[in-house]
Amino acid sequence: MSEIILGIESSCDDTSAAVIRDGVLLSNVIASQSVHENYGGVVPELASRAHQQNIVPVVSEAIRLAGIDKNDISAIAFTRGPGLLGSLLVGTSFAKGLSIALRAPLIDVNHLHGHVLSHFIKEKPEDETPSFPFICLLISGGNSQIVLVKSPFEMEILGQTIDDAAGEAFDKCAKVMGLPYPGGPHIDRLAAEGDPSAFKFSKPNIPGLDYSFSGLKTSFLYTLRDNLKKDPEFIEKNRADLAASLQKTIIDILLSKLEKAVSQHPVKELAIGGGVSANSGVRKAIEEFCRDKGIRAWIPPRKFTTDNAAMVAIAGMFAYRDGQRASLDLPPYARVTI
C-alpha cells in the first residue's frame, strides 16, 4: 500500500502544501504574501491573517494536483517550528483539525530539518539522493549553520551564527541601498554586473566553526556613510559594485568555516539548503569548492530552497516510516535549533 504524506508549511510568510507518495513528489503549492514588500520585512500579524485566508485553498489545490482523494492520505506532516508563532499556529491548528477529520496520524517537523532533508525530494522515482553522512551548509534569513547529517534523525551542529545570519546580512544591506524587500535576490542580480573587488568589507575572526555577520553589516554601513558625505549619489553610482563586493565577502566568510569543517569531519558529500542557497554566487562557489575537494556537491533546485511544504512532507515521510507520531496537544514553538 502506498505511503501518501501531506505536508503543510506556514512558518513565515509562505503558505504551502505538498503531497508525496512513496518518496516521489506529486504536488507542491505555495502562496506567497506580497503585502510585506510595503514594510521592508515580514509583519507577523499580517502574515498570520494571510495564512488563514490561504491555507484551505492551498491544501485543496495540492490534493487536487496530486490526483488523490483526501481519504488516501497516510499521514499529515506539519511545521511545528521554528518560525513566527502566529503563522505556525495557523498551520498547526489546521493540520490537527484535518487529522481528526480524516483520522490520519500527525507528524510534527522541525523546519530546519526540512531544509536539510530537501535533497531527498524526488520528482522522479529514479532521482538520486545524498548518502549519509554528509555535511549541510544551512543558510537562510534566520539561520547560518554547518550541520553534520548522520541520519534523517541525527544531526549535529558543528557551527552556527552567533548574531546575524547570512540572509539577514543580504537583506539589511540591501535595504540601506534602497533595494526592495527581500533584498537578497536583488543583490544577486546586481552582483552579476559589478566588480567584487571594488570594496573591502570587514571579515570576522571568530574561533571554531561559528559564524558572525554583524561586523560585516557594520562595515558596509560605515562604507556607505563615509562615501555619502563626499558624494550624495554614491550608492546610485556604485550599486552593482557594492552588491558584488558584499556577496563575495559573505561567500568568503561561509567558505572559510566550511573548509575547516570538512577538514575536521571528512565526508564524501556536501549539501547546501535554505533561502540563501538560491544565490547564484553561493551555488557556483560551493560547486567549485566541492570540485577542488573531490567531494560530491548537492545543490537544490531553487524551488526547494525557499520555505515549501515538499521539504516538510519528505521529512514527515522519514518520521512516518520510523513510527513517529505527534499528539494533538503539541504546541508550536518559535525558536529551536537543529
C-alpha cell at 217: 553589516
Amino acid at site 40: G
DSSP 27-43: EEEEEE-GGGGGGTS--
Q: What is the pLDDT of residue 35?
A: 67
User: Interhelix angle for 280-293 vs 234-264, to 10°?
Assistant: 30
Q: 565526508: which residue's cell? A: 267
Task: Give 318's contacts (C-beta < 8 A, 6+ positions apart).
Answer: 117, 120, 152, 153
- Render each residue's pLDDT in the chain as its tens digit; 338 residues: 799 999 999 998 899 999 999 999 999 999 987 666 776 777 888 889 999 999 999 999 999 999 999 999 999 999 999 999 999 999 999 999 999 999 999 999 999 999 999 999 999 999 999 999 999 999 988 889 999 999 999 999 999 999 999 999 999 999 999 998 889 999 999 999 999 999 999 999 999 999 999 999 999 999 999 999 999 999 999 999 999 999 999 999 999 999 999 999 999 999 999 999 999 999 999 999 999 999 999 999 999 999 999 999 999 999 999 999 999 999 999 987 67
Q: CB under 8 Å to 257, separation ≥6 — which residues?
A: 146, 159, 209, 210, 211
Q: Is 67 exposed, middle or buried (0-12, 13-18, 19+ CB in 10 A)?
A: exposed
pLDDT value at residue 337:
67
Per the CB < 8 A criterion, the answer to whether 75 and 107 are in contact is yes
Q: So what's the pLDDT on residue 148?
A: 98
- Pick the closest to residue 82 from 157, 12, 171 (CA basis): 12
Of how many residues is the chain composed? 338
Look up the pTM and report it.
0.93
Handedness of CA 55, 165, 235, 196 (dihedral sign): negative
Q: Tell me, what's the pLDDT at 209?
A: 97
Distances (CA, A) of 174 to 164, 168, 181, 227: 14, 10, 8, 17
Could you report how far apart the first and last alpha carbons of the chain are, in Å? 32
pLDDT on residue 335: 84
Nearest to 81 by CA among 67, 69, 95: 95
Distance CA 208, CA 65 (A): 47
- At residue 39, the pLDDT reads 67
